[in-house]
Structure 1
Amino acid sequence: MFKKPSAKEQMKANERQLRKVGRDVERDRRELEREEKKLESDIKRLAKTPGNKEAVAVLAKQLVNIRKQKTRTYAANSRISSVAAQQKSMQANVKLAGAMGTATKTMVNMNKIMKPEDVAKNMKEFEMASTKLNMTDEVINDTLDDILNESGDEEESDAIVNQVLDEIGIEIGAKVAGAPTARSDALGETSRGHVMTDQELEESLAKLRAT
């Protein structure tokens, strides 16, 4: 059973045929050029001899025909080159069409694997989960901040007292060992119970000056 050639095979066959035709035309033109030179030589030789006017005219007509035929070979070669160029252009288009067909099949397969509606659904679910996670993280951070702020009240009170003592030039050391603000038992118990008032702070400073 005869099998019809594919487009690629047909194009290769066309290229071979065009190359063969081009070589045949080139060979014919070379033969015409040789015949042209021979006729030119014969015409020159006969023209030098009197009484050969008719023979010279016949050879001249042959020379004109040969030159016309040689011109036709140039035109034929030009046409063959044009057809070959069109053939290459068609071949490039066929390759491009094949590539586009492959790309189309790939996209179709991808659409089957990953449906657009499923992708959109997954993206929406991801966005919702991300928003929920951010909200949860924000709530946890706020709660931790509240806890840390509450637990730091005692340290903040001690820091304020120490800063006041430092500003008035009283060193925290042996001189204030007996002061309520520097003793761990007195100050610690006071700080844990409540924050020192201004009056208590003044009384502590008065005791320090008296020592």
Structure 2
Amino acid sequence: MFFWILLLQFKKTKELRGTQRQITRDRAALEKQEKQMEMEIKKMAKTGNREACKILAKQLVQLRKQKNRTYATMQAVNKKMDPKKTLQTMQDFQKENLKMEMTEDMINDTLDEIFDESGDEEECQDIVNQVLDEIGIEISGKMVKAPSAGKSLPSASKAKTATISDEDIERQLKALGVD
């Protein structure tokens, strides 16, 4: 809900900025027209054409009123675009966005944990055991005899020979169809 409010606020701010740019362009055009009219009035005054001067003077007065209206409009836009409010809105948006990202990360972590705990490891171990059983290697019995890190290793002279010979392995591989 908050995201949509922020989105609307940003759209409103964007529209206000566009309006402000347009008003600035219009005001610059009006100032340019004002300078041109002033030059025209001076030119007509030098030639002695008083009627043309009066007409241009009326147009100049109207132009200046229009320019003042754009200033008033610009002030109204600036009031609506309160920089403090805009900054606060952006900060709120960043906070909410960060919260949303954190929530998404937490959900993803939770889902990963759920799926990891769903027996995947047991299933993997079952598959490994099945494959080892198929090729004739019994791992559970041999793991008991395997030395642990905490115990000393027997010396080479006392070590027992392997119970599976090369001939046994070759016979089992041929039974599985492996050449």
Q: TM-score, normalised by structure 1?
A: 0.40
Q: In proportion to residue count, which structure has more helix? A: 1
Higher relative contact order (CA 8 A, sep 6+): 2
Please tell me whether Structure 1 or Structure 2 has the larger radius of gyration of its CA atoms: 1
